[in-house]
Amino acid sequence: MPARIIDGKQIAATLKEQIARDAAQVKSQTGHAPHLTAVLVGDDPASAVYVRNKQLACEKTGLQSTLVRLPAETTGAELLALVNQLNADRSVDGILVQLPLPRQIDPVPILDAVSPLKDVDCFHPENVGLLSQGRPRFLPCTPAGVQQMLVHTGVSIPGSHVVVVGRSDLVGRPLALMLMQKGPAADATVTICHSRTRDLAAVTRTADIVVAAMGKPQFIKADMIRPGVVVIDVGTTRVGDKIVGDVDFAKVSEVAGAISPVPGGVGPMTITMLLANTVLAAKLRMSEHE
Ligand code: NAP
Give yes or no: 16 in active site. no
Cβ atoms of 147 and 271 within 8 Å: the answer is: no
Give yes or no: 54 in active site. yes
Distance 234 CA to ligand 1 centre (A): 8
Residue nearest to atom 24 of ligand 1 (CA): 168
Please give the Cα distance from 110 to 275 (Å, whole number): 21
Whether the CB of 171 sits within 6 Å of ligand 1: yes
From the list 121, 208, 233, 246, the catalytic residue is 121
Distance 235 CA to ligand 1 centre (A): 7
Beta strands 35-41; 94-97: pairing state: parallel
Cβ atoms of 36 and 121 within 8 Å: the answer is: no
pLDDT in tens, 229-285: 999 999 999 999 999 999 999 999 999 999 999 999 999 999 999 999 999 999 998
pLDDT in tens, 158-211: 999 999 999 999 999 999 999 999 999 999 999 999 999 999 999 999 999 999
From the list 22, 64, 93, 98, the catalytic residue is 98
Q: What is the Cβ-side half-sphere exposure of residue 198, based on CA atoms within 13 angstroms? A: 0
Whether the CB of 263 sits within 6 Å of ligand 1: no
Whether the CB of 165 sits within 6 Å of ligand 1: yes
- Which three-class secondary structure state does DSSP give residue 39? strand
Exposed, middle or buried by CB within 10 Å (0-12, 13-18, 19+), for 59?
A: exposed
Enumerate residues 6+ apart whose C-beta is below 8 A from 269: 8, 11, 12, 15, 142, 144, 145, 146, 148, 149
Q: How far is CA 207 from CA 4, 115, 164, 197, 282, in A?
A: 18, 38, 9, 15, 38
Atom of ligand 1 minimally distant from the CA of 236: 32
Atom of ligand 1 minimally distant from the CA of 237: 32
Whether the CB of 224 sits within 6 Å of ligand 1: no
Beta strands 161-165; 209-212: pairing state: parallel
Whether the CB of 193 sits within 6 Å of ligand 1: yes
Please, what's the largest Cα pairwise distance for the chain?
57
On average, the pLDDT of the chain sits at 97
pLDDT of residue 289: 67
Please give the Cα distance from 128 to 269 (Å, whole number): 20
pLDDT in tens, 34-92: 999 999 999 999 999 999 999 999 999 999 999 999 999 999 999 999 999 999 999 99
Q: Residues 134-152: what's their mean pLDDT?
A: 98
pLDDT of residue 80: 98
Please give the Cα distance from 52 to 54 (Å, whole number): 5
Distance 247 CA to ligand 1 centre (A): 12
Taking each helix axis from N to C end, the angle separating 141-152 and 266-288, rounded to the nearest 10 degrees, works out to 110
Res. 109: pLDDT tops 80: yes
pLDDT in tens, 25-36: 999 999 999 999
Closest CA to 219 of 245, 240, 187, 185: 245
Enumerate residues 6+ apart whose C-beta is below 8 A from 82: 39, 68, 70
Cis peptide before 184 (omega within 30 of 0): no
Residue nearest to atom 47 of ligand 1 (CA): 195
pLDDT of residue 290: 62
Q: Residues 141-149: what's their mean pLDDT?
A: 98
